[in-house]
Amino acid sequence: MGARLTTITTRTGDSGMTGLVGGRRVSKDSPRIEALGTADELNSALGLACAFCRATSLRADLMRIQNDLCTLSAELATPPDRFVAGMPRIESAHVAGLERLFERHQARHGSLREFVLPGGSRAGAALHLARTVCRRAERLCVRLARQEKLGEFVVPYLNRLSDVLFVLAREANRRQRVKERPWKKPTAAPSRQGSRRNGR
């Protein structure tokens, strides 16, 4: 099999335009490219989390998700009228796989009584950061879907993935014995009227 990427520097994007699958040229700040670029950012954030992750099984989970995100990116890079049979795209099986992964890891954790602060171990913090990038990718895909046709499982996949990344962050912290820090709710301040009465 020959090389698929023979040239990385093409200079074809110097004008602020880039190409989609099929040759169509669009602006680099178009909604589709914004969503595509954020999916790439998410995949890179997961690569960082994977590098920090000590547990082999968690790294394997993350690498499978990274592969799925390449499929999702390929779908975003393909205009609806350019899809042909056999092209990679996110299917219901990808969403179901995330649901099973969430249930498997969530079973090890009790219900949360309060919000937890993002952070913990390096792997946990990186996964929390990836979760927020995933939420942004989801928002951008929702916006794109209002303007152009989008595969029906792209947004559900990203929605499930953000939940998975949250529970994987908790699991990474648990395995490295790093305690989660709960959000400390601020105490209610006395009203100004009450303060004036008390000051009389």
Per-residue pLDDT at 71? 96
Buried b (16+ CB within 10 A) or exposed e, 147-184: eeebbebbbbbbbbbbbbbbbbbbbbbbbbebebeeee
Q: Is residue 8 part of a domain?
A: no
- CATH code, domain with 51: 1.20.1200.10
Q: Is residue 12 part of a domain?
A: no
Domain range for 75 is 17-199
User: What is the residue-level pLDDT of the chain in tens, covering all 200 positions?
Assistant: 444 544 444 455 555 766 555 446 666 768 888 999 999 999 999 999 999 998 899 999 999 999 999 999 999 988 877 777 888 899 999 999 999 999 999 888 867 677 888 899 999 999 999 999 999 999 999 999 999 989 999 999 999 999 999 999 999 999 999 988 878 888 776 566 555 545 44
Q: Is residue 2 part of a domain?
A: no
> What's the structural domain count of the chain?
1
Per-residue pLDDT at 107? 85
Angstrom distance (rounded) from CA 46 to CA 164: 12
Q: Is residue 6 part of a domain?
A: no
Q: Is residue 5 part of a domain?
A: no
